[in-house]
């Protein structure tokens, strides 16, 4: 038992305790459990949605990405394009949700298109997309805790303990548990990352500018976008793809639904970019590691932060960093678990058995939490991708749900149920196929110009998706119109 481990354990217990406290005194019906009774104001909402941004990706993925490939991943990590989209997209979604008592992201599709089947399809796609995302969080958790405990706890052990902890408080408190633990987590991460982001450059290089100059001399390619691969064209397309996919995630929309008003969502869109600035410090940590701890290859690059920390600090402080990192993995995971369980019970089970009562649904959702946790554990222990790859894969799936949602917010929705169905199914099949065969646009069309070859694959598929959606909608709309006329005439006759 070392000092680092004690600190991590302390925060873990604090987290569980707070998570359990949060649900006390509230009668846990479905609306309370899954969207916190829709009563979160600007401040709690801010922590909840911002908390979703501060994940393992910020903590390990961003700095690891910078360590691996420099500037392109750095800029990608804190782009603000999201928030402009959030400003326009979220208030109308929230308004519709409030009016129609929407609790989950699949509910939204179901009610907007008046088709339970579409709700089921969206639910299935989301659950598939969520798995790599959860796996990413858990892998990160394993790395963080085993590194911070100086190897006295194995990654797998850490993952199992972490999963048990969140399963307990999510089962009891649902969304309330996630929101309140998000607050301690954010404060801790903020302190730790800002401190290290300043400390490393000044301690090892005498300042931020000398650090970048040193990198520029040693590895000049790290500070610029390359001509191909992670080029500017990749950056722009990946940013757009992530921004569109970001709010499609069931746990993100659940966060949105828990807002008190449309205005608090607009305020939130304006304040969140400032929060992104903190990621810059995480990037500085990654940059400082490039010269100080060379030769971390493959997935080891995700360890860059901890190599630096162990080289520089006492064990107890490494423990604090570990606790911050562990929470960065656990709290988003708890949100995701809540949202996934809600979807599975409400949008799949209830469609199948329509006369399930609200009480039974809550019970079922709670029972599903450990089941989903177990499935994720299975995938975490059987697979070896780095954090950025998992992150992008998950988004490639998720972004395919965006056309049907965005078009449905127009005054006259050009998309029909059939259109939405075809677009989603075609694009998901392509994503799965390309992922399994590890194909990129580069291998598929070697003769295309570089600008196009570097496009993010998720966005490229999204374009196919939109075309299919609109074409099928146009065809079915025509048929639908004639069918409607038919019934009208029949009514007249009858």
Partner 1 sequence: MKKKVFILTIIPALGSLVVINRVEPYVLGLPFVLFWAICWVCLTSLFLIIANKLDTSNKEEEEL
Query: What is the binding site for partner 1 (CB under 8 A)?
Result: 71, 74-75, 78-81, 83-85, 87-88, 91, 95, 207-209, 211-213, 216, 220, 223-225, 232, 235-236, 239-240, 261-263, 266-267, 269-274, 276-277, 280, 283
CB of 271 to partner 1, least distance (A): 7
In the bound state with partner 1, the residue whose beta carbon lies nearer, of 88 and 316, is 88
In the bound state with partner 1, the residue whose beta carbon lies nearer, of 150 and 212, is 212
Distance CA 126, CA 403 (A): 15
Contact 336, 133 (CB under 8 A): yes
- Distance of closest approach, residue 492 Cβ to partner 1, in angstroms: 38
Closest distance of CB 46 from partner 1, Å: 13
Least separation in angstroms between CB 90 and partner 1: 12
Integer Cα distance of 110 and 97 in angstroms: 11
Residues 6 or more apart in contact with residue 64 via CB below 8 angstroms: 286, 301, 302, 303, 304, 305, 386, 387, 388
In terms of CB distance, is 4 or 265 closer to partner 1? 265
Nearer to partner 1, 189 or 329 (CB): 189
Shortest distance, CB of residue 197 to partner 1, whole angstroms? 12
Cα(284)–Cα(39) distance, integer angstroms: 37
User: E-assigned strands of 295-356?
Assistant: none
Other C-beta atoms lying within 10 Å of the C-beta of residue 136: 28
Rounded Cα distance, 494 and 492, in Å: 6
Structure tokens, 61: 């993925």
**Smallest distance from the beta carbon of 125 to partner 1, in angstroms?**
27
Degrees (nearest 5) of the Cα angle 429, 433, 435? 120
CB count in 10 Å sphere of residue 83: 19
Helices (H) and strands (E) in the chain, counts: 25, 0
> Among residues 59 and 78, whose Cβ is nearest to partner 1?
78
Query: Cβ contacts of residue 300 below 8 Å, gap of 6+?
Result: none
Q: Smaller CB distance to partner 1: residue 227 or 438?
A: 227
User: Whose Cβ is closer to partner 1: residue 283's or residue 426's?
Assistant: 283
CB of 63 to partner 1, least distance (A): 14
- Pick left, alpha or beta for residue 440 (phi over 0 → left; psi -120 to 50 → alpha; otherwise beta): beta
């Amino acid at each position: 038992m070392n000092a680092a481990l004690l600190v991590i354990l302390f925060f873990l217990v604090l987290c569980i305790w707070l998570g359990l406290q949060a649900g006390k005194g509230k009668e846990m019906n479905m609306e309370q459990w899954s969207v916190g009774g829709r009563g979160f104001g600007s401040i709690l909402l801010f922590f909840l949605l911002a908390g979703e941004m501060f994940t393992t990706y910020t903590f390990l993925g961003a700095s690891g990405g910078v360590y691996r490939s420099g500037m392109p991943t750095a800029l990608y990590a804190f782009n603000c394009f999201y928030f402009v989209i959030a400003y326009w997209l979220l208030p109308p979604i929230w308004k519709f949700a409030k009016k129609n008592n929407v609790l989950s992201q699949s509910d939204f599709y179901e009610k907007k298109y008046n088709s339970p089947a579409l709700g089921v399809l969206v639910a299935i796609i989301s659950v598939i997309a969520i798995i790599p995302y959860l796996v990413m969080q858990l892998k990160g958790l394993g790395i963080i805790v085993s590194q911070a405990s100086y190897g006295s706890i194995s990654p797998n052990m850490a993952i199992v303990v972490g999963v048990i902890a969140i399963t307990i408080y999510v089962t009891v408190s649902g969304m309330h548990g996630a929101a309140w633990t998000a607050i301690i987590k954010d404060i801790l991460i903020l302190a730790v990352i800002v401190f290290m982001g300043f400390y490393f450059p000044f301690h090892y290089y005498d300042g931020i500018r000398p650090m970048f100059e040193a990198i520029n001399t040693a590895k000049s390619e790290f500070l610029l976008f390359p001509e191909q691969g992670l080029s500017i064209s990749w950056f722009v397309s990946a940013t757009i793809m992530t921004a569109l996919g970001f709010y499609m995630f069931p746990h993100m929309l659940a966060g949105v639904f828990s807002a008190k008003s449309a205005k608090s969502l607009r305020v939130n869109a304006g304040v969140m970019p400032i929060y992104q600035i903190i990621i810059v410090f995480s990037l500085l940590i990654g940059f400082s590691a490039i010269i100080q701890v060379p030769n971390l290859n493959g997935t080891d690059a995700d360890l860059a932060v901890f190599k630096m920390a162990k080289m520089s600090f006492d064990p107890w402080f490494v423990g604090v960093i570990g606790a911050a990192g562990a929470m960065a993995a656990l709290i988003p995971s708890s949100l995701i678990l809540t949202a996934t369980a809600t979807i599975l019970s409400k949008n799949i089970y209830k469609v199948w058995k329509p006369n399930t009562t609200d009480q039974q649904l809550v019970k079922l959702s709670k029972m599903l939490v450990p089941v989903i946790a177990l499935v994720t554990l299975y995938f975490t222990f059987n697979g070896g991708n780095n954090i950025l790859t998992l992150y992008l894969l998950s988004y490639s799936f998720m972004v395919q749900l965006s056309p049907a949602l965005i078009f449905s917010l127009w005054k006259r929705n050009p998309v029909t149920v059939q259109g939405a169905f075809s677009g989603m199914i075609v694009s998901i099949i392509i994503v799965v196929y390309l992922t399994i065969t590890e194909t990129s646009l580069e291998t598929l069309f070697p003769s295309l110009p570089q600008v196009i070859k570097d496009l993010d694959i998720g966005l490229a598929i999204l374009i196919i998706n939109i075309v299919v959606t609109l074409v099928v909608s146009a065809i079915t709309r025509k048929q639908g119109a004639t069918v409607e006329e038919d019934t009208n005439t029949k009514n007249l006759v009858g």
